[in-house]
């Protein structure tokens, strides 16, 4: 492992929840850290590797009081300037809809040394725990990853949903639960079949994982009826049909 020097910030991906999915670099960084600034969705099992560090919870949750991004950036910079080894621990991968870019650019502007440790994202690893491959030679050769809301909290307006439906064999949605009905309507209006298989994986890779199998047309109603909620990943496409044979998690 590279030396984790004092005054550095390492942005570390914690994966979707199962601590066994941490990389070796992530484990060593957590063990060496003086302070760990972590997201809300980082599991207690993962945080056990940082037993010698100060734990600072600065996580964002939709619809709940959350720290502002400038506050998080400032805390990272202040801890580094105090000569501490800082781990910014982010659920999944730092650069997959995780504000990692904003944090890195803030560190660059402040002249703080940093490193990025990629993590397994829920849209790949979490779905694998549910028996869903994001690509399969006999089913699809393309996958598109999308966020279900933009910086305002609304369904993204800049996405050509009709083009997405035509182009992708599988569509993987992050943070889409609140807008699933609207997203499904846009995809169907663009030509995607109403009976396209949909899987909703809640708390992927953890003991609390739940999976809802539904269709594009019924997804919003089935989500509401089932009680499945965030954090969850949504997979749309024929690859979900392989779950009947491949589910193991």
Tell me which residue has tokens 């966020």.
147
Q: How are beta strands 197-202 and 210-215 bridged, if at all? A: antiparallel
Task: Please give the Cα distance from 19 to 21 (Å, whole number).
Answer: 5
- The enclosing H or E element of 227 equals none
DSSP 92: B
Triad 82, 61, 161: Cα angle to 5° = 120
Q: What span, in angstroms and rounded, lies between the C-alpha atoms of 62 and 19?
A: 24
Are the C-beta atoms of residues 139 and 167 closer than 8 Å to each other? Answer: no
Active site residue ranges: 39, 60, 175
């Amino acid at each position: 492992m590279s030396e984790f020097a004092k005054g550095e910030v390492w942005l570390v991906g914690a994966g979707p929840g199962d601590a066994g999915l941490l990389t070796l670099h992530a484990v060593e960084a957590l063990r060496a850290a003086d302070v760990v600034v972590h997201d809300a969705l980082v599991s207690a099992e993962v945080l056990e590797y940082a037993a010698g560090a100060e734990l600072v919870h600065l996580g964002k949750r939709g619809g709940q009081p959350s720290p502002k991004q400038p506050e998080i950036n400032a805390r990272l910079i202040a801890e580094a300037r105090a000569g501490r080894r800082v781990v910014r621990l982010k659920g999944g991968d730092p650069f997959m809809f995780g504000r990692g870019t904003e944090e890195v650019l803030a560190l660059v502007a402040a002249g703080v040394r940093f490193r990025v440790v990629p993590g397994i994202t829920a849209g790949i690893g979490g779905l694998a725990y549910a028996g869903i491959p994001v690509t399969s030679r006999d089913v699809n050769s393309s996958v598109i990853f999308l966020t279900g809301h933009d910086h305002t909290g609304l369904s993204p307006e800049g996405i050509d949903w009709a083009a997405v439906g035509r182009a992708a064999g599988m569509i993987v949605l992050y943070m889409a639960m609140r807008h699933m009905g609207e997203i499904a309507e846009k995809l169907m209006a663009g030509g995607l079949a109403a009976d396209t298989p949909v899987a909703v994986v809640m708390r992927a890779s953890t003991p609390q994982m739940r999976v809802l199998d539904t269709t594009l047309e019924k997804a919003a109603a089935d989500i509401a009826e089932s009680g499945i909620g965030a954090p969850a990943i949504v997979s749309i496409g024929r690859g979900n049909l392989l779950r009947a044979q491949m589910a193991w998690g």
